Amino acid sequence: MTLDIITSDALDGIRHGFFTRKGGASSGVFEGLNCGLGSTDQADIVKINRSRAAQALGLGPEALCAAHQVHSPDVARIDGPQDGTAPKVDALVTDRPGLALVILTADCQPVLFADREAGVIGAAHAGWKGAIAGVLEETLDAMEALGATRGNISAVIGPTISQRAYEVGPEFFEDFLADTPENARFFANGEGDRYLFDLPAYGLHRLREAGVGHAEWTRHCTYSDPERFYSYRRSVHRKEADYGRLISLIRL
C-alpha cells in the first residue's frame, strides 16, 4: 500500500512529511504505519515501518534521528547519525544534510521548522506540557544558534487532537490561567465542570508570539479520523490495550 503523507507549502523546498497510519506493515490495534518502538507492537515490524518512512524521503533507516520524548522543553542538536541511543528531549535541530529529524505523536503536536536560507531545520513534540514549558521557543533558540533567523523560520503543526475532541478538567484550566489569564481564550465550556482545550491554537499562539516568520496548522484532527491517524485518547475511550505512533520527518 502506498504511504499517505501530508506536506505543507510553507516548507516547500525542504523534504518533509507528516505520515498518516496508511501503508504500514503493522496489524491489530496498530494496523498501518506504526513507528513507535516504545509500543508493544513487534519491534521488527516497527523497524520496517520506519524504514518505509525514511525511504519516502530518500534516506535509509540509519539516517533517522529521534528523541526519547519526555514532555520537556529540552532540545538536542544533531550533528550526525545516532548510535542507537536517543537523547531525552522533545525537540531536535540540525544544519547537516542527509539526516532526518524524527517526531512521534498520537494526539500531541508534531511541529516541523525550517529556515531555507540558512539551511537549518527543527522538529518538536509539543503536547500541552511541552508547549506550556516552552519547547517551541527553545527550538527556535536552538535553530538561531545554528545560524537561522527567527523571522525567516516557517513552522508547521501537523495532525493533532482538535478542540472538539480534547476534554480536560478544571485543574488543567487553572494551570493554564495561572501561567497567564490570556490563556482562557483557548478553552470552551464542555459538559459539567469540563472544558475543551484548543491545543493547535495554543501552539500557533506561542509560535507567533515568539516571532516566527510563518506558522500554520494542517488542520487534521488525530482523534476524529481513525482511518488515517492513531490517537492515544481514542484508544483510551475504546479501552484498547495500546496505540500506534505517527511519524513526522524533516531533512535537508
In this prediction, residues 43-53 reach a mean pLDDT of 98
In this prediction, residues 175-193 reach a mean pLDDT of 97
Inter-residue contact 91 to 65 (CB < 8 Å): no
pLDDT value at residue 150: 97
The per-residue pLDDT for range 24-47, each reduced to its tens digit, is 999 999 999 999 999 999 999 999
Q: Is the pLDDT of residue 133 over 80?
A: yes
Per DSSP, helices labelled H in the chain are 43-56, 128-133, 135-145, 170-179, 199-209, 232-237
Inter-residue contact 34 to 24 (CB < 8 Å): yes
Q: For the sheet with 167-168, list strands across it.
A: 167-168, 195-197, 187-189
Q: Please, which residues bridge with residue 91 across strands?
A: 75, 124
Domain edges within the chain: 5-162+198-251
Cα–Cα distance for residue pair 23/32, rounded to 1 Å: 6
Q: How confident is the model at residue 84 (pLDDT cuts 50, 70, 90)?
A: confident
What is the DSSP secondary structure assignment for residue 85, as one 8-state letter? -
Task: Please say whether the structural domain 5-162+198-251 has been given the CATH code 1.25.50.10.
Answer: no
pTM: 0.97
Q: Is the pLDDT of residue 229 over 80?
A: yes
Q: How confident is the model at residue 1 (pLDDT cuts 50, 70, 90)?
A: low
Q: How confident is the model at residue 137 (pLDDT cuts 50, 70, 90)?
A: very high
Cα–Cα distance for residue pair 33/78, rounded to 1 Å: 25
Say whether 111 sits in a helix, a strand or coil: strand
pLDDT value at residue 85: 87
